[in-house]
Structure 1
Amino acid sequence: MKLRTMAIFALLFGTSCKSQDLPTVPELNLERYQGTWYEIARLPNRFEKGLSCISATYTIREDGRVTVENRGVKAEGKESYIKGVAWVPNTDEPAKLKVRFFWPFAGNYWVISLDENYQYALVGEPKRKYMWILSKTKTLDTQTFDKLKLIAKQKGFDVDKLIMVNQDCNKN
């Protein structure tokens, strides 16, 4: 990924503005959360514009932090890839992570909703500018998607702007 794009991501996802209250899940087991998650839908953002088949792979490191590897496919078929690190700054709030792709900037990665089997999640940040619906599978049934969309709306996210993510790049 180009340095300029990473810088834009860092600026857009930075934490300099005052956060609003956004409840998160009370518990988050990173061992269960790790693995590959597929992006089902998201609010618009510049750093993923034009990408399809977006996934994020989370791997716990020996130091307790999490390696984050984000992948997507550009319109022309080339892969977009960026690697970063995530961590829990306050163990009393395990679902409020920080993620850094470009030093020294770090953004919020807050798990707002998570099913008990760790198969789908709603992730956002307290300013409600960014939000993702994620699944451990490339598809999510309509009922579950609608449930997560409703939760996002109730939490103050503008779900009318949601972008569905194509996960079938074999047909692009």
Structure 2
Amino acid sequence: MNPHAAPVRFTGMRQSAILTALSGSFLATMSLLGTGCAPLKPLATVPHVDVDRFMGDWYVQGHVPTGSEDDAYNAVESYARDGDSNKILTTYVFREGAFDADFETMEPTGFVENEETGATWGMRFIWPFRAEYLIAYLDDAYTETIVARRKRDYAWIMTREAQISDERFDELVGRLTGMGYDPMKVRRVPQRWPDAEHPVSKAGGDMARWTREQE
């Protein structure tokens, strides 16, 4: 174990679900290597991401969820640069199961693995493993994005706006479908605002950094 690696903080999070998902991904990869199965189908990222512009708060409008977030409400993911390095402080907060439920918080560390494009990241929940994190869609105004994976197992549709129309959501699901995902697996994340107690409401546009200052 790396004594200098800061572990991810889980607050009320079902950590066993994260461990199970990561273990499953590792075993699936080893199975492919052992049996000579076809490699994962490629998934194109956007050509370039201005990482500094990508920082800040993103409202999760829909996802192909991991087991730990399959009943998330008012989900928000936030990013902040960790100095001049390729490390990204990440905070993911949501209410578990209802708009008045307790908050769940995850604080993994992101790494920009392709600094030329800025679109290929690794997300570390447990040292030393990094989960694949590909910015597969990003509009020119940096108001909408889709994070996806070559395994087509998980994905996140996120916007800068807290709430979007049904029509816009359907269009974004269509983009995800075009990447090879099953639209029937996409869950729309309920979003209802204002939510005065939510950390994003208290942070003033930089939840990832704000949550760490409260520790």
Q: Same fold (TM over 0.5)?
A: yes
More strand by share: 1
CA deviation string 1:66-99 (max 9, x = no partner)? 0010111112611100111111223244211100
- Please say which of residues 147-156 and 111-120 is displaced more in the overlay: 147-156
More helix by share: 2
- Please say which of residues 36-45 and 91-100 is displaced more in the overlay: 91-100
Q: Does 1:7 align with 2:19?
A: yes
Alignment gaps of 5+ in structure 1: none
Partner residue, 1:102: 126
- Which one of the candidate residues 130, 137, 143 is aligned to 1:119? 143
Distance, in Å, in 2 between the alignment partners of 1:160 and 1:8 is 23
Partner residue, 1:21: 42
Partner residue, 2:95: 73
Partner residue, 1:39: 60
Which residue identity does 1:117 align to in structure 2? A
Q: Tell me by how many angstroms 1:141 deviates.
A: 3.0
Determine if contact 2:14/2:68 at 8 Å carries over to the other structure: no
Q: Tell me by how many angstroms 1:123 deviates.
A: 1.0
* Rg comparison, structure with higher value: 2
Which residue identity does 1:102 align to in structure 2? I
Alignment gaps of 5+ in structure 2: 1-12, 30-38, 196-215
Partner residue, 2:6: none
Determine if contact 2:88/2:112 at 8 Å carries over to the other structure: no
Q: Tell me by how many angstroms 1:122 deviates.
A: 1.1
- The TM-score, its normalising length taken from structure 2, stands at 0.72
Give the number of equivalent residue pairs. Answer: 170
